[in-house]
Structure 1
Amino acid sequence: MAVKIKLKRLGKTHAPQYRIVVADSRTARNGRAIEEIGIYQPLQDPSIISVKSDRVLYWLGVGALPTPAVEAILKITGDWQKFKGLPGTEGTLRVAPPKVNKILVFEAAVAEAANEPKIVKKPKLETPVEVVAEVVAEVVAAEVVAEVVAAEAIAEEIAEEVATESAATEVVSEDAPADVTPA
């Protein structure tokens, strides 16, 4: 009987999970297996690879052939190098960083908050209504100043026109002959 070490697919349509199994080469991909020797979850970051090394070495020793995908996984874990006697038996498997215990983080934050001096809230200086009233007053004051400046400019123009007209009438009256009465 030809024995293969292959992947047995589990999971949903777009969420594959695999079992590394030893099975007869004539069985279907997800058919009956002789033994499960590991798991492979490719969607995790880093991928979860768990292999029973002693069982893999046993099955490789008795002549089981790995599929190319399983061979790549065994190279990552270092089991293929152990079987072949190659250097690099430690493998290149990335290990996920340890998860932080949320309860410990919370307790540390509470202890830190207890040690800090309490923050005294400052009384509100102004209410939003007062702020709006100040802004409206500033806008009205700016408009009044603009109107006053415009009125002063108009008054200056009128004063200049009146001054030029009065000067022109004086010149005209000096040049004109006195009233001549006809005889």
Structure 2
Amino acid sequence: MSEQTNTWGGTETTKGKEPLFVVRRPRFPGVIFIGLGAVTAIIGIPGFIVQQLAGPGADGTSFGIMAVLGTLLLLFGLALGATRVDVYDRHYDVKSGFGKLRRREVDDIHTLRYATQSNGGGQRFVSLTAWNDRKKKQFMIFTNYRGYQEFTAWLAERRPKEWAECERLGIPD
């Protein structure tokens, strides 16, 4: 890891170092919410303004609801697209939604487990979650994320005991 000495004599990670790879959600769901939200907001906001200028006392709230709904869908889509895990040699940075990147050390991973989530008999989603020794969640990624295969290989190499236990337990039914 590239380090530099700061003015107090300590070392800090050099800014701007590129990750080995990035684990992200698939693009499709975020793009759908962004597109739908943008179209709805583009119609709703000007429509609401025109409606208020044309008839200030009018009770029509459909354009106002469209504007709010479009803005919320747009924000939700942007938050979905912003979620990621940046993986470096001995640590990884986790970002959920609009939160900031939080640095996590690979040596802090105490437990790795698969879990399943389904929508009542429909499609089943499989997640991989890690916790530290104080049972604080370190990350949660799904098997359909871009970079999932590289990340699991990286975990197996750096946390072989925890990965072997996760593999032994397998995916719950």
* TM-score (norm. length: structure 2): 0.25
Structure with higher Rg: it is 1
Higher relative contact order (CA 8 A, sep 6+): 2
Name the structure with the higher strand share: 2
Name the structure with the higher helix share: 1
